[in-house]
Amino acid sequence: MSVIAELATELAKLPGIGRKTATRLVYHLLKQPAASVERLALALQAVTRSVRACSTCGNLTEQDPCEFCADQRRDAGLVCVVEEASDIDAIERSGEYRGVYHVLGGHLSPLDGIGPDDLRIGSLLHRVGNGAGIREVIVATNPSMEGEVTATYVRGALDGHGVKVTRIALGLPVGGDLEYADGVTIARALSARRDMGG
Amino acid sequence: MSVIAELATELAKLPGIGRKTATRLVYHLLKQPAASVERLALALQAVTRSVRACSTCGNLTEQDPCEFCADQRRDAGLVCVVEEASDIDAIERSGEYRGVYHVLGGHLSPLDGIGPDDLRIGSLLHRVGNGAGIREVIVATNPSMEGEVTATYVRGALDGHGVKVTRIALGLPVGGDLEYADGVTIARALSARRDMGG
């Protein structure tokens, strides 16, 4: 196989990149200065060599504990449980959260053979139980069926640990349009309605 | 900048990959075995180090002359002129063409400052004029405005070189639907209509 075909094959393994796009990317890269392609290759190698899971929360990081667990200004008594490390970025973008995180590493999915033991639930219970002063666990798994099942399981596993367990609110997205919202979202938004006072 | 952010920045420089997709790709790569990411990095390096332009036709290749120019079974008297090396793949997929190629390296685009001297037109004239026995030049630049202008320019440049110059046919795509074809394509297809005999 030529090196061009080989690179296209490797690129086509990435999610959302088919064979055609991969070939287009290869020809694009061939038009770039060699130094710029080299930078991409080195960045790939750096990531595989220096990124590890934080031993406390499971976030992907170059330092252990990760930047969030190590940050003294953060509220270590508030833990936000997410499915993937990439979800942390999304929550950080809100600029509203000042607690720490716990990454499950996926969601429960019996059909794919993913049970509770395959997720970092044991280490969550250990964190809650070891007297580190955790007051509240916010379950921020995805608002999908698997995410809801996982949230319910986590809620049950934390029973009797003397910690408050909350779920992020589901409802209409800000800036969204009621007309285009799906029925399930509207039903959730209605049942979670709150008193406006007055 | 963290190595994760750095890789996302490099990936986001690729065409069609925005910042969000780049971040998603990084997290995908972090879930893969290190050896698989390493393979992608090495494939990138191999491409920049060993791929060059063919000194005859301009195709991107690991060997010079390229596989098409070196293939004795191909008709060296028939040259297909394309804008980019990637167009060769598309023509080869048809399985119908047995001649050789000539890559211009783009199309005329005065607004972008790309004139005839920036394309490999001089080397095409040299190939045609050096007694290598070229009978016909098929101009297969894109059916876009720039491609048409470039085709006309190439046609003019070959005047008086004693070579037949043809243009690939424009018309309705096979498997397409007349109802959804644009007017310009239909006009071209009508004016290029051919006698069905009988």
In this predicted model, what pLDDT tens digit does every residue of B71-103 receive, in sequence order?
A: 999 999 999 999 999 889 888 888 888 999 999
In this structure, what token pair is assigned to residue B2? 């963290």
Residues in chain A: 198
Residues in chain B: 198
Q: Are B49 and A29 in contact (CB under 8 A)?
A: no
**Reported confidence tier of residue B197, pLDDT bands at 50, 70, 90:** low
For chain B, the farthest-separated pair of C-alpha atoms sits apart, in whole angstroms, at: 73
Contact B42 A43 (CB under 8 A): no
Closest CA to A173 of A188, A195, A163: A188
Q: Summarize pLDDT for A121-176 with one digit per residue, the tens.
A: 999 999 998 877 899 999 999 888 899 999 999 999 999 898 999 988 888 787 77
Q: Are B92 and B59 in contact (CB under 8 A)?
A: no
Structure confidence at residue B198 (pLDDT): 62
Structure confidence at residue A196 (pLDDT): 65
In this structure, what token pair is assigned to residue B143? 């059916």
Tell me the shortest Cα–Cα distance from B149 to chain A, in angstroms. Answer: 23
Structure confidence at residue A197 (pLDDT): 64
- Interface confidence: ipTM more than 0.90: no
**Reported confidence tier of residue A185, pLDDT bands at 50, 70, 90:** confident
- Measured between beta carbons, the chain A residues lying within 8 angstroms of B15 are 24-25, 28
Structure confidence at residue A168 (pLDDT): 87
Q: Summarize pLDDT for B42-61 with one digit per residue, the tens.
A: 999 999 899 989 999 999 99
Q: Residue B69: pLDDT above 90?
A: yes
Average pLDDT score over residue span A97-108 = 94
Of A139-143, A183-187, B39-43, B192-196, minimum mean pLDDT range: B192-196
Single-letter residue type at B172 = L
Whether this prediction's pTM lies above 0.80 is answered by: no
Query: Can you state the angle between helices B34-50 and A34-50, rounded to 10 degrees?
Result: 170
Q: How far apart are the first and last CA of chain B?
A: 73
CA B52 to chain centre: 15
Give yes or no for A15 touching B (CB within 8 A). Answer: yes
Rounded Cα distance, B195 and A119, in Å: 69
Mean predicted lDDT score pLDDT of chain B: 89
Structure confidence at residue A144 (pLDDT): 87
Q: Are B3 and A43 in contact (CB under 8 A)?
A: yes
Structure confidence at residue A135 (pLDDT): 93
Strand B75-82 relative to strand B136-139, pairing = parallel
Give yes or no for A11 touching B (CB within 8 A). Answer: yes
Q: Residue A188: pLDDT above 90?
A: no
> Which residue in this structure is represented by tokens 């999915």?
A109
Closest CA to B69 of B80, A29, B151, B137: B80
Instruction: Please list the residues that pair with A164 across neighbouring strands.
Output: A136
Percentage with pLDDT > 70 across chain A:
98
- Measured between beta carbons, the chain A residues lying within 8 angstroms of B41 are 41-42, 44-45
Closest CA to B114 of B149, B165, B156, B142: B149
Percentage with pLDDT > 70 across chain B:
98
Q: Are B80 and B140 in contact (CB under 8 A)?
A: yes
Tell me the C-alpha to C-alpha distance, in Å, between residue B106 and each of A80, A177, B62, B118, B136: 52, 44, 21, 8, 21
Strand B60-61 relative to strand B52-53, pairing = antiparallel
**Which residue ranges form the domains of chain B, and what is each CATH number?**
3-50 (1.10.8.420), 74-167 (3.40.1360.10), 170-198 (no CATH)
> Which residue in this structure is represented by tokens 């910690």?
A163
Q: Residue A182: pLDDT above 70?
A: yes
**Reported confidence tier of residue B128, pLDDT bands at 50, 70, 90:** very high
Nearest CA in chain A to B48: A34
Give yes or no for B7 touching A (CB within 8 A). Answer: yes
Of A74-78, B24-28, B160-164, B185-189, minimum mean pLDDT range: B185-189
